[in-house]
Amino acid sequence: MVWNPELVPGRISTEVDARLSYDTEASIAKAKRLIKLYNDAGISNDRILIKLASTWQGIRAAEQLEKEGINCNLTLLFSFAQARGLCGSRRVPDLAICWPYS
């Protein structure tokens, strides 16, 4: 059976491998590979959400990806220091989603 993207409404979220959480460039490269796979399947960027860990490197990756029009969701946010690094500095002003945990 071939997957039909029209059967799934709204956004499609795909997580970058957590083993890349401390490697900005590798996270960016993986995100772009995922985007290409979706684009090749006929899914536009506005439906795709790339999920990254909220490490310093993940935040930098999201900053770059958002500048390139790739929507990001930063997750695994457990501390005020992470939140400050993400939201307080306004480094990623157009971030699509951020999921804090307590």
Residue 30 has pLDDT above 60, yes or no: yes
Computed over every residue of the chain, the mean pLDDT equals 82
Rounded mean pLDDT, 3-18:
82
List the structure tokens of 23.
């490697």
Q: What pLDDT, on a 0 to 100 scale, did the predictor assign at position 23? A: 98
List the structure tokens of 1.
């059976």
Number of domains in the chain: 1
**The pTM is what?**
0.77
Active site residue 51: yes
Q: Minimal CA–CA distance to 56: which of 31, 84, 33?
A: 84
Residue 61 lies in a domain: yes
Residue 28 has pLDDT above 70, yes or no: yes
Residue 43 lies in a domain: yes
Q: What pLDDT, on a 0 to 100 scale, did the predictor assign at position 37? A: 95
Residue 94 lies in a domain: no
**pLDDT level of residue 3 (50, 70, 90 thresholds):** low
Rounded mean pLDDT, 61-83:
82
Residue 35 lies in a domain: yes
Look up the domain containing 61 and give its range. 12-89
Q: Exactly one of 30, 32, 51, 67 is catalytic; which is it?
A: 51
Burial class (CB in 10 A: 0-12, 13-18, 19+), 31: buried
Residue 7 lies in a domain: no
